[in-house]
Structure 1
């Protein structure tokens, strides 16, 4: 009398069902890795391309160099902001905001110094800098602004120099995305039986080449 506890189709069908379940469980990691690899690559395509191209312009700055452009401006601000014997009461906020609004000075304030009869303010941003000299007696000021060109802006963005906290977050996100793209690529390779061995040989060769360059040519 047949065993009523066996699934329809007998033991052979049960074996096939178990094998199908195991096969499906093996495919899940590679499917997820492929999905992440494709869509993370698309999401981060522009920013990864940006860092790739600017890596070249940064490494060969002499190829793309341009003469800095210097621009001078003069003006006068409220003398009460600077003409105070108590230097702690010099109105730094109003001075900086006035220069930004009136003279379109860009960048963050890297230095604000009060030195006797003068106040000096330095602004720095990607690819440009501005130095401001203010006479504390009458409020007259002079701005010397230097622009180093588009390539300098791109190079500073690559390095994260004088770019502020927001761009720093972009760099962190880019680093995470590039790491995930690399890791998902390796996971996918682990499930490619025909290409796995060759892939890991090339991966090892790449590691050895980088180590060799560092050990023999740089150290």
Structure 2
């Protein structure tokens, strides 16, 4: 069998490392494609939501919103007022009594969460912020009169607040963190796939570079 002039090895032996490299490259490419499509499937709906709300947030001043307010005014029963006064004399930050929250649900259909309220000698105030709106409950500890008001700013404001994680709670904050990790996997696996294909596609790195340079130039030249 003839030997290679440079290595002194047969042609089949000289080409063996190249075959091994091709096998490893094919294995890595297959693995990266799996990570890429799985992460993209997980991120798909979230990326569409965040991209759409990015546009609405960027044009928030141009999108008209007509907040709708709804108020409920009433009088607490003597037993519930006594429970409120008892807590007001002892605490500066405590939730409303469970019996009062149950009474509000059954008689006025007002679901009040078990959150600390602001207590003073004259009144109890409970802020109830929420995505896309606001709400609050005020109780006069002297007369027992209460007022509840809820403000709804519409679906666009609701999804904008989801984008910002504003008044969304712990579960949604965890979702945003996990979604960000999935986006990192999607982006990094895509970058590595581009690297493996860049040998045969020389235009890849100029396009990637443009994606990095363009926002940097806009920030330097037009953001003050």
CA-CA distance at 1:47 after TM superposition: 1.1
- Superposed CA deviations along residues 14-69 of structure 1, whole A, max 9, x for unmatched, are 55554322211122222211111112111221111111111111111234332000
Match of 2:161, SS state, is helix
C-alpha distance in 1 between matches for 2:211 and 2:103: 52
TM-score normalised according to structure 1 size: 0.83
Equivalent residue, structure 2, for 1:209: 214
Counterpart contact for 1:54–1:158, Cα < 8 Å: yes
Aligned residue-pair number: 209
Match of 2:124, SS state, is strand
TM-score normalised according to structure 2 size: 0.82
Equivalent residue, structure 2, for 1:5: none
Match of 2:166, SS state, is coil
After superposition, the CA RMSD in angstroms is 2.7
What are the ranges of 5 or more consecutive residues in structure 2 without an aligned counterpart? 1-8
C-alpha distance in 2 between matches for 1:176 and 1:68: 35
C-alpha distance in 2 between matches for 1:218 and 1:189: 31
Choose which of 125, 128, 134 in structure 2 pairs with 1:129. Answer: 134
Match of 2:97, SS state, is helix
Please show how residues 41-60 of structure 1 align to structure 2 within 5 Å.
41-60=40-59
CA-CA distance at 1:11 after TM superposition: 5.1
Counterpart contact for 1:107–1:129, Cα < 8 Å: no
Equivalent residue, structure 2, for 1:182: 187
Change (3 A) 1:92 1:108: closer
C-alpha distance in 2 between matches for 1:58 and 1:107: 29
Please show how residues 70-149 of structure 1 align to structure 2 within 5 Å.
70-75=69-74, 76=76, 78-84=80-86, 86-88=89-91, 92-94=95-97, 97-98=101-102, 101-102=105-106, 103-105=109-111, 109=115, 112-149=117-154
Change (3 A) 1:189 1:67: same
What are the ranges of 5 or more consecutive residues in structure 1 without an aligned counterpart? 1-9
Equivalent residue, structure 2, for 1:7: none
Change (3 A) 1:105 1:146: farther
Match of 1:133, SS state, is strand
- Superposed CA deviations along residues 158-215 of structure 1, whole A, max 9, x for unmatched, are 00000001000111111111111111111011111222x3111111122111111111
Counterpart contact for 2:92–2:118, Cα < 8 Å: no
